[in-house]
Structure 1
Amino acid sequence: MTNDGRSEPWAAGLSSAARVVWAKHDFDTNDWLPLYRHMADSAAVATLLWDEWLPPQVRRLIADALPGGEDDARLLTVWLCCVHDIGKATPAFAGQVDVLADDMRANGLATPSRKQLPDHSYAPHGLAGQLILRDWLVTRHGWTERATHQLTVVVGGHHGVQPTNTGILAADKRPALLRTPGNEQAWLDVQHELLDVAADRTGVTPRLAAWRDAKLPQPVQVLLSSLVITADWIASNPDLFPLFPNAGTRSQDPVRTREAWRLLDLPAQWRPREPPGTPAELFATRFALPPGANPRPVQEQAVEAARAMPAPGLMILEAPMGEGKTEAALTVAEVFAARSGAGGCFVALPTMATSNAMFDRFLSWLAHVPGMPQEAASVFLAHSKAHLNEDYLALMGGGVTLDLDRDGGDDRDSTSLIAHRWLRGRKKGMLASFAVGTVDQLLFMGLKTRHLVLRHLALAGKTVVVDEAHAYDTFMNTYLDRALTWLGEYGVPVVILSATLPARRRRELVAAYTGDHGGHDHVEQARAHPLITTATPGAPANVLAPPASGRGTDVLVEPLADDLDTLGARLTAELVDGGCALVIRNTVARVHEAAAHLRDIFGEGTVTVAHSRFLDLDRAANDADLVAAYGPPGRGADRPARHIVVATQVVEQSLDVDFDLLVTDLAPIDLVLQRMGRLHRHPRGDDQAERPERLRRARCLITGVDWTTTPPDPVRGSRTIYGAHVLLRSLAVLRSRLEARTDAERTVRLPDDISPLVQDAYADDDALIPPAWKDEAEEARTAHEVTHVVRQEKADVFLLDEPKRPGRALIGWVDAGVGDADDSHKGRAQVRDTAESLEVLVARRSTDGTVTTVPWLPDERGGLELPTHTAPPSDAARALLASALRLPYQFTVGAAIDRAIEELEADMVPAWQTKDAHWIAGELVLFLDENDRAELAGHHLHYTRTDGLKATRAE
């Protein structure tokens, strides 16, 4: 079991006691790995990570904190990775495996068994390593204890949670866990011997004195911690770094490291270059503009503003719907990345549906971006339903080869986009170079969780684009602001997009990123639209007002009584010559009610339903069908001659759909304007001549309100979702148009009226509130303010602190956190103020007991048998997993959720809960009968492919 060191450079000169201290053990094979070997492996991996993988943006930040610049940064990183497991050279750790502890005892290290150390949990090896390294720096290199903390906490937190002061004090009071009483010197000698060798082998010994007075900013400590974890995970993989004694030729450097790195095959990061040429030339090459087409003024000025900034920083881009904000943001991200040394890009969106819609556009952009790695670039779709996205599945199945322009010229080359096997999953996925996903992935950056440092490393090396910034509530904005604060500290370039951003919110975003909460009055006072705001920490923010593109829509606004007969009669009149109408309701119940009534009038085939209460695959198909039927002209789809889509807010954002007429429930003004963005979105003939004659003027009918009361009273479902205050403010800013008698007075001009309407609606004053509304408005405002405070306090509970002064250690950084975070509904609820919900998988069970997937699933996934005596085949299990459905709110109120879970658990299939059924183990399954009905928690459930799930209370 011992190694004499003659064939192992790292072991040469080590005492026999130091050579038998162990780090890894496999109980099945009894294979093991000496600690010195794991130290060497970790150092070798860290060297390769620094030299071949880490983006310059991250390297520079660490280098700027050290007296020797990048040379020091590389040395420090490699050394910390090397010594991170020194806490395993302790009796508290070594006594876990008797056979290995016996060898240590035989070499002079008294090692009690784990049973003899009942308080061993007070010194987990990470914390033990922090204390050992502290003592070594103090006694061997003259550091003060306080000065050591900023480095030793990196070792202490390498399992994802930084030790607390209380934990450090408790471990210090139990010295027997670090060195056996009566044998302290032997243990101390081995610990220091291993640390001395590590310092010599990594080359840090001459630099330790120079680092004594360094003050490492907390962001640098975070990055060092995340690099230690990354190197440890790679070096701990026995497939890459085999255990002894069966490692063969892969038992030592350099063969061991070279082969491991080859097998890992970690894709290199993006190496962007400053894109040359005018904005028009740049957009033409990135987005294949048709001949003669030019970017819009806001797109051109966004690029010019990015180039003019003193350093990459924050850009807030406000422009109307359909103005090409996404293309502008990606182009600015490329400029920022080239100037900052970013190694990738992350685009954050409000929902999974909007993320999926963006993913294809993102991949298309990557095909035209120079600087991609020679062999492959890593891509990640960052949400929990990524396995349902066909584009992402293709990347997981071996990658997609792109023909691309590496140099910005005519010479073409190719690379592959892959979802790399190591760069997947909840903790590592965001380390991929390029990612699209829900904004939760960014919000988690401000949430106290395990392995938070990895999320910080992932984002610290990228440019970040945040789309639909207006779509986030108080709770989410709290986490977004804290994430922006850390991104600003890292120097990460950020582009924020919105069509309808309140001015106060614009100022808050600038303040969060720059860390300067004073000033910025001019940022909040700006009222132009489009608007570009740029900011870098330590410099005044700039505001630019590009000219409008000339594209615009005049929308006639009028109230519509909230009864179904009125709705049906109005649509009958408006669609008499054909046309496509969109009816948006704020609740699913109102969607079903309206759709049923309209089908009685227009027929089943003329009314389509879209909302969130569909199976995952069905909802994805619904979105695709909407874009195919109502997308831009010239896409080859047949637009229906006459059709009505009744939908919830799912059509509000990121779906490029275009309707002739809009009927919408009252909503906050910014969302009403977003909905108007689906109205006459694209030109259809000169002066819209290809639309039915009576629908060539865009009209928005606002309903969901009792117009006979003072003030008008929004329906209860809308008040529940949005609150009475913001709905009354929305009514107030639209009041003059809703009460007008002429078309000119009723017109909302897009984009000219977007900013005035939004800013007035979200202003602090009540100047627009009619005197007759005063009492109700004051009551609504008070309730709104109370709710805001409650949500703010709720968000603050697990909110990460802002970065402390340089030199302040990360001790207790995520203390009292939430544990792990992921993009499940439970995980998202940690950064969104959402009610608990219940998700089920849906299958069909026949009267003879046969269970199958529902029959209508696409791509031959429907009707697959699901055996109940064993784990289903993987294709059937994946099809079932793609049939997830979120149950409506009535199953989450009070005791209803407990009753529903109890009934679902009673119906669980035991064979589906085994490790062989890993795709679906732990999931709740709702079994529909042959008529697609079920009973659950006192409700009748009925699912149809056309309408999704309906739930009615049983009598």
Structure 2
Amino acid sequence: MRGIGGWALNDVTGSAAEQNQESRKGLYGAPWGKSRDGESHHLAHHCADVAACFEAMAALPGVRSRLERAAGGPLSEVDIARLAVLVFLHDIGKLHPGFQAKAWPEGLWTGPRHGHMREGVEIFQHQAPPDIVRSLHLEKLIEWGVDWNLLFSVLAHHGRPVSMEGGRPPCWRAVAKAGYDPGAASAEVGGLIPRWFAGAFVQDGRPLPSMVGFAHLFCGFVSLADWLGSTRAVFPFKAELDVDYMEKARKKAGAAVAAIGLDPRALQRKAAGRADFATLTGIDTPRPQQQLVGAFPLAEPLVILEAETGSGKTEAALWRFVLLFAAGKVDSLYFALPTRAAAIQLHARVNKAMARVFGADAPEAVLAVPGYLKSGVVGGHALPDWGVRWDDDGGLDESRLLARWAAESAKRHLAATIAVGTVDQAMLAALQVKHAHLRGAALSRSLLVIDEVHASDRYMVEVQTHLLAMHLGHGGQAMLMSATLGSLARTKWLGRKTSPSFEEAVATPYPAVWGKGEVAPRGGIGKGGEKSVAIGLVPSWTAETAAALAIDAARSGARVLVVRNTVRAAISTFDRVRQAGGEDLLLTVAKGPALHHGRFAPEDRALLDGAVEAALSVDQATRTPGGRIVIGTQTLEQSLDIDADFLITDLCPVDVLLQRIGRLHRHALSRPSGFEVPHCRVLMPEQGLEIFLPPFFENGLGGWDERGVLNGIYRDLSVLELTRRLIAAYPEWRIPAMNRFLVESATHPERIEALHRELGRPWETYWANVCGKDIADAGAARNIALPIGTPFADMRYPDPDKEERIRTRLGAEGARILFSGPVCGPFGVEISGVTLPPPWSHGIDGGTVVAPIALDGVLHFQAGGTKFEYGRRGTVRSYRLLEIS
């Protein structure tokens, strides 16, 4: 044997027929596997449901190929049957009377209540009576080569590794008052296994896979099968044992796997004739960088697309997906965005694109953003007991509702055929958090697209790198996209050992498509939309300065985009424009002035997004004459399809600055006099950047010392200073021709080292603090990365409190505050709640329910002892003396 039990083979001889069946007589003699509302589902039935779901998934080419890759070779039908037996045993610990007692009247069981995962291990660690072990075919498991890693991976189906520390006495005795004998129950359940899984019991001397990575991936698919096999709408409860139940479960499982979208074969056949760019987009000719992606080999598992903002990277990624999908190389898509706002905005575009390809059969794109329930264009509402009521429930049959199974829980989002969400939802598959294995297994079937890979800090980059290695190792496909990826970051993503010199980096083609297996990038075909941007520094970044520049340009007829580094600066500029008599020029929503940032309710963000896209329309026919001022933060940098005549922005790193410039003169539109050439004015502190060295933080630049660690938003002063010098030295930026030069000039190690030699020790010291923070972040990420190289039986997770801190650091979205009922917001639509920024969320539980008070068009509420206001300026902390009950 290889590991489990410690029993000699002669310890497990015997027959289930020898068991005494008399104790089975009694009201509670039959073991239950699921129980709710006074109804129960026989344990053998539930185990059959989950095993059948695993069999149905393992029969899918995409899933089978992932399992075989992890196994290191082909899996026979005998292998799958034996793995299905192991899956059947996933809940076998529920035989324990301390678990069964949860459905009994009080007093029948006097011992402590038990779970079922540790108890499952007890059975195979000779802590349960030998007759139970014999009944559950330990001898055969040993013969098949089941080891502790496979066993523990199955028993960890609830999302965390099983820990045997601090255990209680096994206590597997019969309970006469309940008429329950675990030995007799195990004989009944175990006796069905050879009948229901006859293919597992044929003579075959090959052991099951022992690769460490296989156990980890297997755990994920078992967990997914358990979620589906526990869906009562698919598998109704049946308390009385049906010895012919298995075939019924298999039929239901096959239908369910197809209905929820795990079986994509029918859609893949349809896509095979419709995977062209014109069908996907409605545009006949792809742009040069889109052509590069469309022609890239489908066998290449990792593709990196570098192209300027507004060049159609999203459509390029969707095109690669439909090509891979039609070829059967992926079964699904997860499109990962850096923020909730970006994900929400892109979701509708992806949903429409899928409708063009698949027509009426199109899978509804799931919005994979915590706190939101949306599938396609339909919203949902969470109900007690994990249920969901969809807005169109009354008009749909059960099969259509079942297709939204993956949309109904954040844990299942990655199982959707099409999902658009935040990158942290994918990153949770790579961390030591609950259900990581489920997420990783579901994701392994996908093309994982990560947009704006430059927009992450060192912690997230480290996690994403681990995620990518896991995903590609499982056989998944990935595509990374950026307008401004530096050579150092690209080298890391591609897994190359050496980075190019500054000269080599600048000489690299742009736009370009890179493959992990290709030596050089593909690029340099055709000409994209070239533009020359007049750029200059403004030695002031006060709200008054920004407002004056914006009003002056708007009075001259320009559509002005003002992007501030912080919400505070954006609100101050908004207020100053109003005070200076420019309210009539501001973005208008619901007959009043508005601005755009991340502290608005989702319902209002939808209104604001639409208003911004209308005010800065890319369509000449809908672009009304006259000046307009749109003020916001980083929320305006990506996903919104907008086109400004004039840009005012705070100083920021060059890659972020290029993102903002991408919103300027995106299309060939008629421009007002004086703005025929795109203009960008970059605001910076009058005193220069040296003021941030102590350290000091203001308006997003610099940082603050927090217990010896330098924290901040745009902390890297060296990159900021090199960006400032580029603006001063080059008053005209040719986009995209200069993109490589600009990014490398501000981020390449050679340029940073030269800057430090020039500016001396204070800058070197500050840089060391930045690097120290990065090193600490990288170490923190590695410490909590999912260790898929560790034998599963040796796996240990951090305690739940630490796990919650991991999740919080990832999402960094703050606490979600729910209103006690829909209330009318400042823009005239009903809103359900708001999300607080992370610094305001300390001590406030997510999902806190409050009853806001409306006063003069502003909502007032209190959470965690702090008073807040929500109005046209978004969510702000309140300093008014207003009593809130």
Query: What TM-score comes out, normalization by structure 1 length?
Result: 0.75
Question: Which whole-Å CA distance do the structure 1 matches of 2:230 and 2:270 have between them?
Answer: 38
Choose the corresponding residue for 1:545, options 523, 531, 538.
523
Choose the corresponding residue for 1:619, options 605, 612, 618.
605
Question: Which whole-Å CA distance do the structure 2 matches of 1:390 and 1:651 have between them?
Answer: 24
What's the counterpart of residue 438 of structure 2?
454
What's the counterpart of residue 730 of structure 1?
720
Does residue 500 of structure 1 match 2:484? Answer: yes
What's the counterpart of residue 410 of structure 1?
none
Residues 275 and 350 of structure 1: CA distance in aligned 2, closer, same or farther (over 3 Å): same
Mapped contact 2:91–2:116 kept (Cα < 8 A): no
Mapped contact 2:488–2:499 kept (Cα < 8 A): no
- Listed one character per residue, the Cα deviations across residues 488-513 of structure 1 (whole Å, up to 9, x for unaligned) are 111101011110112111121222xx
- Listed one character per residue, the Cα deviations across residues 637-663 of structure 1 (whole Å, up to 9, x for unaligned) are 343511111211110111111111111
SS at match of 1:811: helix
Question: Which whole-Å CA distance do the structure 2 matches of 1:381 and 1:797 have between them?
Answer: 30
The one-letter code matched in structure 1 to 2:211 is L
Mapped contact 2:364–2:375 kept (Cα < 8 A): no
Residues 143 and 929 of structure 1: CA distance in aligned 2, closer, same or farther (over 3 Å): same
- Listed one character per residue, the Cα deviations across residues 707-765 of structure 1 (whole Å, up to 9, x for unaligned) are 56768999712225756752442332441541x5xxxx411111122122212322223
SS at match of 1:761: helix
The one-letter code matched in structure 1 to 2:836 is R
What's the counterpart of residue 158 of structure 1?
157
Residues 490 and 13 of structure 1: CA distance in aligned 2, closer, same or farther (over 3 Å): farther
Does residue 40 of structure 1 match 2:48? Answer: yes
What's the counterpart of residue 537 of structure 2?
559
Q: CA deviation at 1:67?
A: 6.7
SS at match of 1:641: coil
Question: Which whole-Å CA distance do the structure 2 matches of 1:605 and 1:259 have between them?
Answer: 62
Structure-to-structure mapping, 1:462-541, within 5 angstroms: 462-511=446-495, 518=497, 525=505, 527-535=508-516, 539=517, 541=519
Mapped contact 1:317–1:325 kept (Cα < 8 A): yes
What's the counterpart of residue 94 of structure 2?
88
Question: Which whole-Å CA distance do the structure 2 matches of 1:284 and 1:541 have between them?
Answer: 31
Choose the corresponding residue for 1:703, options 680, 683, 688.
683
The one-letter code matched in structure 1 to 2:32 is A
Mapped contact 1:313–1:493 kept (Cα < 8 A): yes
What's the counterpart of residue 439 of structure 1?
423
Q: CA deviation at 1:818?
A: 4.2
Question: Which whole-Å CA distance do the structure 2 matches of 1:593 and 1:192 have between them?
Answer: 74
What's the counterpart of residue 617 of structure 2?
631
Q: CA deviation at 1:325?
A: 1.0
Question: Which whole-Å CA distance do the structure 2 matches of 1:747 and 1:543 have between them?
Answer: 27
Q: Which moved more, 1:600-609 or 1:690-699?
A: 600-609
Choose the corresponding residue for 1:282, options 265, 276, 286.
276
The one-letter code matched in structure 2 to 1:343 is D
Q: CA deviation at 1:589?
A: 1.8
The one-letter code matched in structure 2 to 1:61 is R
Mapped contact 1:267–1:376 kept (Cα < 8 A): no
Structure-to-structure mapping, 1:14-413, within 5 angstroms: 16=21, 20-24=29-33, 26=35, 29=38, 31-51=39-59, 54=60, 56-64=61-69, 65=71, 69-94=75-100, 96=102, 114-116=109-111, 118=112, 124-128=118-122, 131=125, 140-141=139-140, 143=142, 148-164=147-163, 166-167=164-165, 174=169, 176-177=171-172, 191=186, 194-195=189-190, 197-206=192-201, 210-212=205-207, 214-218=209-213, 220-238=214-232, 240-244=234-238, 252=245, 254=247, 258=251, 265-267=259-261, 269-271=263-265, 272=268, 282-290=276-284, 294-307=285-298, 311-339=299-327, 341-369=329-357, 377=363, 379-387=365-373, 391-393=377-379, 396-398=390-392
Question: Which whole-Å CA distance do the structure 1 matches of 2:552 and 2:256 have between them?
Answer: 68
Mapped contact 2:337–2:423 kept (Cα < 8 A): yes
Residues 246 and 351 of structure 1: CA distance in aligned 2, closer, same or farther (over 3 Å): same
Q: CA deviation at 1:202?
A: 0.9
The one-letter code matched in structure 1 to 2:622 is A
- Listed one character per residue, the Cα deviations across residues 63-82 of structure 1 (whole Å, up to 9, x for unaligned) are 35277634245323422222
The one-letter code matched in structure 2 to 1:149 is W
Question: Which whole-Å CA distance do the structure 2 matches of 1:246 and 1:450 have between them?
Answer: 33
Q: CA deviation at 1:356?
A: 1.7
SS at match of 2:574: helix
The one-letter code matched in structure 2 to 1:763 is H
Structure-to-structure mapping, 1:781-796, within 5 angstroms: 781-796=767-782
What's the counterpart of residue 662 of structure 1?
647
Q: CA deviation at 1:631?
A: 2.7
Q: CA deviation at 1:677?
A: 0.5
Question: Which whole-Å CA distance do the structure 2 matches of 1:130 and 1:748 have between them?
Answer: 69
Question: Which whole-Å CA distance do the structure 2 matches of 1:85 and 1:400 have between them?
Answer: 36
Mapped contact 2:701–2:714 kept (Cα < 8 A): yes
Mapped contact 2:825–2:871 kept (Cα < 8 A): no
Mapped contact 2:124–2:138 kept (Cα < 8 A): no
Residues 179 and 233 of structure 1: CA distance in aligned 2, closer, same or farther (over 3 Å): farther
Question: Which whole-Å CA distance do the structure 1 matches of 2:203 and 2:801 have between them?
Answer: 35
Choose the corresponding residue for 1:601, options 573, 580, 585.
580
The one-letter code matched in structure 2 to 1:702 is V
Mapped contact 1:669–1:758 kept (Cα < 8 A): yes
Question: Which whole-Å CA distance do the structure 2 matches of 1:138 and 1:775 have between them?
Answer: 71
Residues 548 and 811 of structure 1: CA distance in aligned 2, closer, same or farther (over 3 Å): farther
- Listed one character per residue, the Cα deviations across residues 217-241 of structure 1 (whole Å, up to 9, x for unaligned) are 42x3234323333433444455544
Q: CA deviation at 1:544?
A: 2.0
Question: Which whole-Å CA distance do the structure 2 matches of 1:933 and 1:189 have between them?
Answer: 63
Q: CA deviation at 1:423?
A: 4.8
Residues 732 and 616 of structure 1: CA distance in aligned 2, closer, same or farther (over 3 Å): same
Question: Which whole-Å CA distance do the structure 1 matches of 2:23 and 2:334 have between them?
Answer: 45
The one-letter code matched in structure 1 to 2:87 is C
Question: Which whole-Å CA distance do the structure 2 matches of 1:480 and 1:599 have between them?
Answer: 43
Mapped contact 2:367–2:421 kept (Cα < 8 A): yes
- Listed one character per residue, the Cα deviations across residues 692-711 of structure 1 (whole Å, up to 9, x for unaligned) are 12111111111132256768
Residues 605 and 884 of structure 1: CA distance in aligned 2, closer, same or farther (over 3 Å): same
SS at match of 1:393: strand
The one-letter code matched in structure 2 to 1:853 is V
Mapped contact 1:18–1:190 kept (Cα < 8 A): no
SS at match of 1:483: helix
SS at match of 1:529: coil
The one-letter code matched in structure 2 to 1:69 is L
What's the counterpart of residue 687 of structure 1?
none
The one-letter code matched in structure 2 to 1:555 is V
Question: Which whole-Å CA distance do the structure 1 matches of 2:173 and 2:511 have between them?
Answer: 63
Residues 128 and 927 of structure 1: CA distance in aligned 2, closer, same or farther (over 3 Å): farther
Residues 367 and 399 of structure 1: CA distance in aligned 2, closer, same or farther (over 3 Å): farther
Choose the corresponding residue for 1:754, options 715, 734, 739.
739
- Alignment RMSD, CA only? 4.3
What's the counterpart of residue 673 of structure 1?
658
Q: CA deviation at 1:366?
A: 1.2
Q: Which runs of 5+ in 1 are unaligned?
A: 1-10, 102-112, 181-185, 402-414, 512-516, 685-689, 844-850, 863-878, 906-919
Mapped contact 2:98–2:114 kept (Cα < 8 A): yes
Question: Which whole-Å CA distance do the structure 2 matches of 1:86 and 1:226 have between them?
Answer: 18
Query: What TM-score comes out, normalization by structure 2 length?
Result: 0.81
What's the counterpart of residue 876 of structure 1?
none
Question: Which whole-Å CA distance do the structure 2 matches of 1:276 and 1:263 have between them?
Answer: 24
Q: CA deviation at 1:930?
A: 4.4
Mapped contact 1:448–1:818 kept (Cα < 8 A): no
Question: Which whole-Å CA distance do the structure 1 matches of 2:303 and 2:675 have between them?
Answer: 38
SS at match of 2:356: coil
